[in-house]
Amino acid sequence: MNIAAYFGVRGKKVTILDADFQRSAHDWINDSSDPLLKSISAISAQSEVDIQSAAEETNADVLCIDSQGAINQELGICLALADVIITPCRPSRDDSVGLGWINAFAQQSKTAYENSDPVLLAVMNAVNKRSAVFLHTVSQLRDDGFNVAKTALSQRVSYAEANVNRCSIFAQNSLAAHEMRSLGLEIYTLLKERE
């Protein structure tokens, strides 16, 4: 949501394709009174065919796909359609292993779908970004060849408040908004490099 808002603020035409059965991203956009989210369109599609069709029909500058975390056909098409796969990752064994599975599935999607060439970007989030376990996890992921965003997100109350209030983090003047701008710029730069 906040990455979509970041690109909207940059003047890009943004669409969120919500491929999760909960439709939380879709509902967040449509229920929001935040002026920063009003320019973002939201569509919902859950089947592989509907997801691909919706992605092809949008004329957005930036298409953000919110998918469920399950390894299934629908996730496969989402990964294949992506230029950048943004994967949140906590400094935990489960998330590190999960990142490996997402990477393997993304590589498999490259062979299954023509013109698919996504790059995986792990976005770390933690309570304490200076803890030994956090720093070790980031180092290990990079040593293992993963792209890890330079910007890590703290687990701040501001993110929960933005979710509850159905607004972007940019509606607040907070450290969380600063983190998200920094992450948005990293993603923007990565997309420009891939053009």
118-122: average pLDDT = 94
* pLDDT, tens only, 20-31: 888 999 999 999
Q: Which pLDDT score is estimated for 173?
A: 79
Q: Which pLDDT score is estimated for 102?
A: 92
* pLDDT, tens only, 127-148: 899 999 999 999 999 999 999 9
| DSSP line for 43-112 | EE--SHHHHHHHHHH---SEEEEE--SS-SHHHHHHHHH-SEEEEEE-SSHHHHHHHHHHHHHHHHHHHH
State the pLDDT confidence band at 18, using cuts at 50, 70 and 90: very high
State the pLDDT confidence band at 123, using cuts at 50, 70 and 90: very high
Q: Which of 5-9, 46-50, 185-189 has the lowest mean pLDDT?
A: 46-50
* pLDDT, tens only, 147-182: 999 999 998 999 999 999 999 999 887 899 999 999
Q: Which pLDDT score is estimated for 72?
A: 76
81-91: average pLDDT = 93
Its pTM stands at: 0.91
Based on the structure, what is the number of domains in the chain? 1
Handedness of CA 45, 111, 72, 66 (dihedral sign): negative
What percent of the chain clears pLDDT 70, i.e. is strictly above it?
A: 99
Q: Which pLDDT score is estimated for 21?
A: 87
Alpha helices by DSSP H, 131-174: 132-143, 157-164
Domain range for 97: 2-193
Q: Work out the mean pLDDT of the chain and round it to a whole number.
A: 92
Q: Which residues contact 168 (CB under 8 A, 6 or more apart)?
A: 1, 2, 5, 34, 36, 37, 162
Say if residue 79's pLDDT is above 80: yes
Q: Which pLDDT score is estimated for 43?
A: 95
C-alpha dist (Å) from residue 60 to 16, 71, 122? 9, 27, 24
CATH code for the domain in which residue 39 is found: 3.40.50.300
